[in-house]
Chains A and B, each alone.
Chain A
């Protein structure tokens, strides 16, 4: 005969306390609508209808709702990341925990859109008489390889970008490769944020200086800018990695002492137009997404009238352009930025409306590799 238990063993109590505790927390905790770390809206309680029940969407949405609203979500994601790390699996969420507080994205897929996207740009450039320039920014992991953990995947950014350069130059496009300059400068200045995949304004400044010869301007010296730092910046690498014990960055804004960033910025989103009078949206610095201080973040189409002299520049870009454009603004009277992930109309139509003098393509290597650009 087994001994009869008078009291349940302690672990049984722990189990029930945990399950009941979590359900109670789910029930009583206020529902979150937005996740600042993930920068996305969280699922709300799904609307019930018999049709939704029958096609399974109600129960599916309910499960999404639950996983979005799980109590202590950040704690659990972080626990999982560090538990994996303890078992030797660095980068379980796609971001390595590197040396000296660097969070470094794993390489983009080998099987990617890089060559195809380059081909699309080449074909586009051949159809227009406006001179086109291409800049592809290597990922920070490929620049700061010495900060990577010992065991890491191989990075092909430099090779891939060189292949794109060859393809562009063969067809008469101008290509500005900043790889070498970055490698030369990387130990002197932080070219990227440790917790964000973007380059810093210091990194963008180097690119701006490198572009001068091709785009035809004399770059302004670095001391013509006042650097404003906002502490406690946690970027995208941080959000993805789950390594919540990482120290934050300071977000840098390089403001021209001469213009103060003044310009008329017109943002067109979903057919609605909004205007602002500065390239920097200072109020964004206190929000959950401070990186939108530059040009207000991702938009399909933005027009910047600077009041300065110079020609008209069309920038076809991803978010790497956001802190580069303010530097360029000093040398062009008008800059139009187009983000092809959101802008679905033909760019050629835009070019027949406005007489651009130059077209600049600026992409981070990872977005360029992972998204098919549709360029008409």
Chain B
């Protein structure tokens, strides 16, 4: 189930919200767990058993880690087994086809049949969440959860189940046991949810349509190709950050608060800064559970470089089972390394305009690499597209017509990438008319989003595949 669908907005959410608040506190987690399962099973009626299995397995892992408190050896063994199982399942369900394709490419004689394993929705997200639990229990940074209902609720919590943010167990441990839902939090939740919905429906979807349209104009000209790349960059940002906002807002509506996942990444002045602002929960996860355990920067420059490359290769691979993602990860790994070595110092001396353009262009080129995964033609399609950025005239008449009709929307999207709207909102918040404006904005977002969803069958979430 996706948030920007009728079934979620007008059936699932109202029912769950009403029942949740009608129930006494002690039943709320159990009801939430039940709702999570309906939410997940809606799109994944069969592989829901896999998630349930993971929940039960890791619940006992937590208990065992606690039970073997005296024996580090046993604890280590338990952790290794659990990590192997969790990553094994992720590898099997996400990467088996990819692995077989590669084996076949290297040894054509092998000619293995593709297993064609369906990718369970959200497995990349919930596996990482589960590991943040087991590893933290192992590190004694958090206590084992004794209630399987609370643990199951954590893993499968519907707001962040299918597209993040990746919530660390220790960040919500307290909230799972006791949270106080209250009105200010609920209205914050409504605002965040609608902000996310608007980003997704009113900006990401049209930007996606624009990217599709421009991409389908091979003779559109270089400017059209660049505008296509810009449109995709905007689409992926509004899509993903919109989803995170909706997730955080829904969390608020049920008494949870999750950490921010995006912080205006497109205003960054370096790639280093970009990755502190983009998909923050993923970066945090990799830092804490991969980079630092590998030694981070404590074992010398050479080792640090190797560590960075490993982390970024894995980050790339996490985004999808296709070589372009690995390349995309390494691309950023190399850029980050260069910045660490000398570039960051140079950038700081340059005027802000230069460093902003530098970061934006490199990120946008990264998105080109990111877009052309195997399922949309892979490297062949990438190789066909890249020359379009530099050759073939400036702008065809058709492409100009398409672009002309989206200029106002593009301008809105540009502004929406910056903190300007937020600042204006905060400045207005003391004013007398503010409640009226707020109400009008909420009504407009609801009406326009519904209108767009009714009109538009074009509603796939990009981050659904992960």
Within 8 A of B (CB), among A24-70: 26, 53-54, 56, 59, 62-63, 66-67, 70
Interface size on B, residues (CB 8 A): 49
The contact string, 1 if C-beta is below 8 Å from chain A, for chain B 86-115, is: 000000000000000000000000000000
Query: Are B10 and A26 within 8 A (Cβ)?
Result: yes
Which single member of A77, A91, A92, A153 contacts B398 (CB below 8 Å)?
Answer: A153
Across the two chains, which residue of chain A brings its CB closest to B405?
A89
A92 to B447, CA, bound (A): 17
State how many angstroms separate the Cβ of B410 from the closest Cβ of chain A: 10
Query: Are B409 and A152 within 8 A (Cβ)?
Result: no
Q: Chain B interface secondary structure, helix, strand, loop or mixed? A: helix
Query: Are A15 and B407 within 8 A (Cβ)?
Result: no
Residues on the B chain within 8 Å of A242, using CB: 455
Q: Tell me which of A5-13, A132-140, A194-202 binds B.
A: A5-13
Query: Are A63 and B46 within 8 A (Cβ)?
Result: no
State how many angstroms separate the Cβ of B227 from the closest Cβ of chain A: 15
Query: Are B452 and A59 within 8 A (Cβ)?
Result: no
Q: A26-B11, A70-B6, A80-B451 are in contact. Are A54 and B183 (CB under 8 A)?
A: no
Residues on the A chain within 8 Å of B6, using CB: 63, 66-67, 70
Query: Are A77 and B442 within 8 A (Cβ)?
Result: no
Which single member of B45, B186, B397 contacts A53 (CB below 8 Å)?
Answer: B45
Query: Are A90 and B405 within 8 A (Cβ)?
Result: yes
Q: Tell me which of B265-273, B295-303, B383-391, B433-441 binds A.
A: B433-441
Query: Are B446 and A14 within 8 A (Cβ)?
Result: yes
Query: Are B452 and A80 within 8 A (Cβ)?
Result: yes
Which single member of A9, A54, A77, A152 contacts B454 (CB below 8 Å)?
Answer: A77
Within 8 A of B (CB), among A53-101: 53-54, 56, 59, 62-63, 66-67, 70, 73, 76-77, 79-81, 83, 87-93
A62 to B43, CA, bound (A): 12
User: Within 8 Å of chain B (Cβ to Cβ): is A170?
Assistant: no
Residues on the A chain within 8 Å of B46, using CB: 54
State how many angstroms separate the Cβ of B255 from the closest Cβ of chain A: 15
Query: Are A20 and B14 within 8 A (Cβ)?
Result: yes
Query: Are B443 and A80 within 8 A (Cβ)?
Result: no
The contact string, 1 if C-beta is below 8 Å from chain A, for chain B 1-21, is: 000011101110111011000
Query: Are B443 and A14 within 8 A (Cβ)?
Result: yes
Query: Are A18 and B43 within 8 A (Cβ)?
Result: no
User: Within 8 Å of chain B (Cβ to Cβ): is A151?
Assistant: yes
Across the two chains, which residue of chain A brings its CB closest to B13?
A19
Residues on the A chain within 8 Å of B404, using CB: 88, 151
User: Within 8 Å of chain A (Cβ to Cβ): is B354?
Assistant: no
Q: How many A residues are at the interface, by size bracket?
A: 35 or more
Query: Are A91 and B45 within 8 A (Cβ)?
Result: no
Within 8 A of B (CB), among A225-272: 242
Which single member of B183, B187, B409, B457 contacts A87 (CB below 8 Å)?
Answer: B409
Query: Are B7 and A63 within 8 A (Cβ)?
Result: yes
Query: Are A79 and B451 within 8 A (Cβ)?
Result: yes
Query: Are A19 and B10 within 8 A (Cβ)?
Result: yes
Query: Are B454 and A73 within 8 A (Cβ)?
Result: yes
Query: Are B401 and A15 within 8 A (Cβ)?
Result: no
User: Within 8 Å of chain B (Cβ to Cβ): is A188?
Assistant: no
A153 to B216, CA, bound (A): 14
Query: Are B10 and A83 within 8 A (Cβ)?
Result: no
The contact string, 1 if C-beta is below 8 Å from chain A, for chain B 205-248, is: 00000000000000000000000000000000000000000000
Across the two chains, which residue of chain A brings its CB closest to B455?
A80
Residues on the A chain within 8 Å of B452, using CB: 80
Q: A11-B435, A14-B446 are in contact. Are A152 and B401 (CB under 8 A)?
A: yes
User: Within 8 Å of chain B (Cβ to Cβ): is A22?
Assistant: yes
A285 to B366, CA, bound (A): 58
Query: Are B398 and A11 within 8 A (Cβ)?
Result: no
User: Within 8 Å of chain A (Cβ to Cβ): is B293?
Assistant: no
User: Within 8 Å of chain B (Cβ to Cβ): is A341?
Assistant: no
Residue with the highest number of chain A CB atoms closer than 10 Å, among B17, B398, B451: B451
State how many angstroms separate the Cβ of A108 from the closest Cβ of chain B: 13
Which single member of A12, A19, A80 contacts B14 (CB below 8 Å)?
Answer: A19
Residues on the B chain within 8 Å of A151, using CB: 401, 404-405
Q: A9-B187, A83-B448 are in contact. Are A63 and B5 (CB under 8 A)?
A: yes
A14 to B457, CA, bound (A): 26
Query: Are B184 and A56 within 8 A (Cβ)?
Result: no
Query: Are A22 and B187 within 8 A (Cβ)?
Result: no
Query: Are B7 and A76 within 8 A (Cβ)?
Result: no
A26 to B17, CA, bound (A): 17
Q: A12-B187, A73-B454 are in contact. Are A59 and B407 (CB under 8 A)?
A: no
Query: Are A76 and B455 within 8 A (Cβ)?
Result: yes
State how many angstroms separate the Cβ of A369 from the closest Cβ of chain B: 16
User: Within 8 Å of chain B (Cβ to Cβ): is A2?
Assistant: yes
A152 to B402, CA, bound (A): 8
User: Within 8 Å of chain A (Cβ to Cβ): is B425?
Assistant: no
Residues on the A chain within 8 Å of B42, using CB: 59
Query: Are B448 and A12 within 8 A (Cβ)?
Result: no
A148 to B339, CA, bound (A): 52
Query: Are A23 and B398 within 8 A (Cβ)?
Result: no
Residues on the B chain within 8 Å of A92, using CB: 455
A8 to B457, CA, bound (A): 34
Query: Are A88 and B408 within 8 A (Cβ)?
Result: yes
Query: Are A66 and B14 within 8 A (Cβ)?
Result: no
Residues on the B chain within 8 Å of A73, using CB: 454
A67 to B187, CA, bound (A): 28
Query: Are A76 and B451 within 8 A (Cβ)?
Result: yes
Query: Are B14 and A154 within 8 A (Cβ)?
Result: no
User: Within 8 Å of chain A (Cβ to Cβ): is B304?
Assistant: no
Query: Are A59 and B435 within 8 A (Cβ)?
Result: no
User: Within 8 Å of chain B (Cβ to Cβ): is A127?
Assistant: no
Across the two chains, which residue of chain B brings its CB closest to A74?
B454
A8 to B439, CA, bound (A): 12
A2 to B182, CA, bound (A): 13
User: Within 8 Å of chain A (Cβ to Cβ): is B406?
Assistant: yes
State how many angstroms separate the Cβ of B439 from the closest Cβ of chain A: 4
Residues on the A chain within 8 Å of B327, using CB: none
Query: Are B442 and A153 within 8 A (Cβ)?
Result: no
A89 to B443, CA, bound (A): 22
User: Within 8 Å of chain A (Cβ to Cβ): is B142?
Assistant: no
User: Within 8 Å of chain B (Cβ to Cβ): is A159?
Assistant: no
Query: Are B45 and A4 within 8 A (Cβ)?
Result: no
User: Within 8 Å of chain A (Cβ to Cβ): is B194?
Assistant: yes
A-B pairs, top 6 by smallest CB distance, nearest first, are A80-B451, A76-B454, A11-B442, A79-B451, A80-B455, A76-B451
A-B contact pairs, 11 of them (CB 8 A): A5-B183, A26-B11, A63-B6, A80-B455, A80-B456, A83-B451, A88-B409, A89-B406, A89-B409, A110-B398, A154-B397
By a beta-carbon cutoff of 8 Å, the part of chain A in contact with chain B is 2, 4-5, 8-12, 14-16, 18-20, 22-23, 26, 53-54, 56, 59, 62-63, 66-67, 70, 73, 76-77, 79-81, 83, 87-93, 110, 151-154, 242
**Extra pairs beyond A9-B435, A19-B14, A80-B454 (5, CB < 8 Å):** A12-B187, A12-B190, A90-B405, A151-B404, A152-B401
